[in-house]
Chains A and B, each alone.
Chain A
Amino acid sequence: MIKSIKTWILVGFASLLLVACGQGGGGAGSKKSKTLDNTKKAGFVKCGVSQGLPGFSNADEAGNWTGIDVDVCRAVAAAVLGDADKVKYTPLSAKERFTALTSGEIDVLARNTTWTLSRDADIGLTFVGVNFYDGQGFMVRKASGINSVNDFRDGISACTNTGTTTELNMRDFFNSKNIKYEPIAFEKADEVVQAYDAGRCDTYTTDKSGLAAQRTKLSNPDEHKVLPETISKEPLGPVVRQGDSVWEDIVRWSLNTMIEAEEYGVNSSNASSLKDSDNPAIKRLVGAEGELGAAFGLDNDWSLRIIEQVGNYGESYKKHIADTGILPNRGPNELWTKGGILYVPPAR
């Protein structure tokens, strides 16, 4: 009997010890980047992507991921590890994405995520920039006779995804128009498409790029159209965990490098030949001048590798969004010098 009591007491002490240890762990905010060290040690960038959105992040039959969101992760891998292919992709639902990032399952979230105040400030995340300016729109059947959002009437049913800003915008929009509507929200995009296709709802609302991409999955894409109005601002961009400012800077400037490279006409084919360019801005981009990489513990060729292996933003957009027929016009996603709103701080 005594023996068994002793065992129990031992177990009790052991659990006390466990508690004491548990408090000691963790601790971030040191000057060195834990995420960068871990990434180098692991040999790949842990990147969270969508479960399949053509143009942004979509896997082919062989499991190769492509898209402009995927290119952000590839750029980070090229900068940090020297090889754009060293990325491990984790497909995430809208619901899972932030938890996956804050818990450390992924280190970069490049999953068509809208930058909002509450997401940025409240839940331990930091948005590093915008890689696609989007806005919410509506898709309807061409035969419906609805040509504008002003043709919506009380009782209209709208299908969408849960767990996105879309649900909130939809309410704001219909409330401002004083229209009673029936919201039908699905967890996965594929089910939304099926339900809309079957006629469960009269309109399908999500980001316009998403509508354009999902339209291709309908049984008769030509029978549907996207209404001209845009009802919200949806700046989509990559996200990192709060508290690792070095890693945050690496991801931010990997994206900025792609945009700046387009601005200066540097692309994947001419980058290395521009090392002796006359323009100092170009020389900095291809690593021939300055010590910019040192600021976040990288060598000087980090930006050259991004441009050579991934390409500039224009190349990425053309390959994934324009040439695939999703959105042939760049619209707001054009450089500021060409009438768009893509404008990044100078890399110097």
Chain B
Amino acid sequence: MNFKNLKLNLSNKNKDLIPQILTVLFLILVVIYFTINAQSNMGNRGISFGFGFLSQESSFDITFSLIDYDGSHTYARAFLVGLLNTILVSVIGIFFATILGVTIGIARLSQNYLVAKSAEWYVEIFRNIPLILQIFFWYFAALRALPLTVDSINFYDISFLNVKGWYVPKFVWTNFSIFLYSIVFSFILIYFLGKYAQKQRDKFGKQIPTLYISILLIIGLPLLSFLIGGVSLSFEIPVLTQLSKTVYVYRGGVSIIPELISLALALSMYTATFIAENVRAGILGVSKGQKEAAASIGLTKGQILKLVVMPQALRIIIPPTTNQYLNLTKNSSLAAAIAYPDIVLVFAGTALMQTGRAIEIISITMLTYLSLSLSISVFMNWYNKKMAIKEK
């Protein structure tokens, strides 16, 4: 390397660039070192390395899967089953954690002493107990508390809750695609309606009741598909069947396993406490002057919350809430403790044991969690940018 030239070219830009390039090079070398080291050690111990096992038959079954799967499928398919189960419990968890979190967060600011104190107690209790204990509590407490299949809790003869799970009717559709199209179509209409309404407001100051029209569209169009689109829906109700003297099971319908229920419950109740605190911080973070100013120009209470307080509060709420969504997704890996077949139990557990491919499987699993987290991050950053102050 010619140092003289290098010195001449050291503009401000290069000054920053060179250490960065060297850092990246160093990191690459470190990775290469670890790879070679692992390879030579594995070679010495007679362990082969490769991803060929993914196309082998898995030969183990999984309790609960969103896609068609049994032991005659491949390890790759088992991985997919685990991944989808992880995504399922995360989505359910995030959904309920958000609703619960926002409710509790607002409740903590309530003028009503009882409401505010209950919310505070909720937060203090649930965020201070380790999550794994809460998962065990909900799972084993629920299992012990729920009745056996034969004495199920009966909801209007169509849904049944017992120790083996929650059985609900299965939807049996005809012409489901037409129904789906009608929903997609109504969303497209709502999108354009929103654009149109904004234009009208900006140009002529006219307010169009978009909310009511949207509700009408989203109910009306699918309803129309039933009436003239040939869509119909029937229900398959679970039926109690006796297997032996005291062993009963519900056949038909959809069974929601207790592992999923308790895991989703534990995850959302735990994460909701943190979201609640974020929401509280967000609302408190909007200065009183803003509300007073909004009131002084004649906005209603609802308008103040919607147009002035929330847009500013959201800017404070979103970034830390993103963290909580990521935490919830990663925490879902505790599923293995209560036999919920997520990616850790199915892939990094059973598949790892059956194949012995620890390094391959753990790297795949880590990469999967990384991509999951990054996707959530990317989405939330996009949303955050949308909500951020736009300098005009």
Contact = CB atoms under 8 A, between A and B. Distances in A.
A99 B357 CA distance: 9
Given A19-B36, A94-B353, A119-B356, A186 B26 contact: no
A258 B356 CA distance: 31
A119 B355 CA distance: 8
Interface in A180-194: 181-188, 191, 194
A27 interface: yes
Interface in A85-119: 94-95, 98-99, 102, 118-119
A187 to B, nearest CB: 5
Given A23-B40, A157-B164, A168 B354 contact: yes
B48 interface: yes
B244 A153 contact: yes
Contact of A102 (B6, B45, B163): B45
Contacts of A242: 45-46
Contacts of A141: 246
Interface in A213-261: 241-243
A156 B47 contact: no
How many interface residues does chain B have, given as a range?
35 or more
Interface stretch (A4-12, A52-60, A63-71): A4-12
Nearest to B29: A15
Given A12-B22, A22-B40, A202 B243 contact: yes
Interface of B: 1, 3, 6-7, 10, 15, 18-19, 22-23, 25-26, 29-30, 32-33, 36-37, 40-42, 44-48, 59-63, 71, 140, 143-144, 148, 163-164, 241, 243-247, 249, 251, 258-259, 336-339, 341, 345, 349-350, 352-356, 358
Contacts, number: 181
B352 A187 contact: no
Contacts of A154: 243, 251
21 contacts: A8-B18, A8-B19, A15-B29, A18-B29, A95-B349, A118-B356, A122-B355, A123-B47, A143-B246, A153-B247, A155-B243, A157-B164, A157-B249, A159-B339, A163-B350, A172-B59, A184-B339, A186-B337, A187-B349, A194-B143, A199-B143
A198 B140 contact: yes
A23 B353 CA distance: 29
Contacts of B258: 200
Contact of A198 (B47, B163, B241, B358): B163
Contact of B61 (A99, A119, A171): A171
A61 interface: no
- Tell me if B's interface is mostly helix, strand, loop or mixed: helix
A142 to B, nearest CB: 10
A185 B345 contact: yes
A281 interface: no
A26 interface: yes
A16 interface: yes
A1 B349 CA distance: 51
B331 to A, nearest CB: 16
B19 A28 contact: no
A198 B246 contact: no
A172 B29 CA distance: 47
B355 to A, nearest CB: 8
Contact of A122 (B41, B48, B143, B339): B48
Contacts of B251: 154-155
Contacts of B36: 19, 22-23
Given A25-B40, A154-B243, A167-B354, 8 more contacts: A2-B7, A4-B19, A26-B44, A144-B244, A153-B244, A181-B61, A185-B339, A243-B44
Contacts of A145: 244-247
B247 to A, nearest CB: 5
Which residue of B30, B251, B350, B358 has the most chain A CB atoms within 10 A of its CB atom? B350
A245 to B, nearest CB: 12
Contacts of A12: 22, 25-26, 29
Nearest to B140: A194
Contacts of A278: none
A19 B244 contact: no
A164 B46 CA distance: 22
Given A25-B40, A94-B353, A155-B251, A200 B29 contact: no
B18 A5 contact: yes
B143 A198 contact: yes
Contact of A187 (B40, B60, B336, B355): B336
Contacts of A146: 244-245, 247
A59 to B, nearest CB: 21
Contacts of A16: 29
B44 A187 contact: no
Nearest to A166: B60
Contacts of B247: 144-146, 153, 156, 202
B60 A168 contact: yes
B72 to A, nearest CB: 9
B345 A198 contact: no
Contact of B337 (A122, A156, A187): A187
A318 B193 CA distance: 82
Contacts of B164: 157, 182, 199-200
A172 B70 CA distance: 12
B339 A2 contact: no
A163 B337 contact: no
A195 interface: yes
A195 B243 CA distance: 20
Nearest to B48: A122
B353 A155 contact: no
A343 B360 CA distance: 39
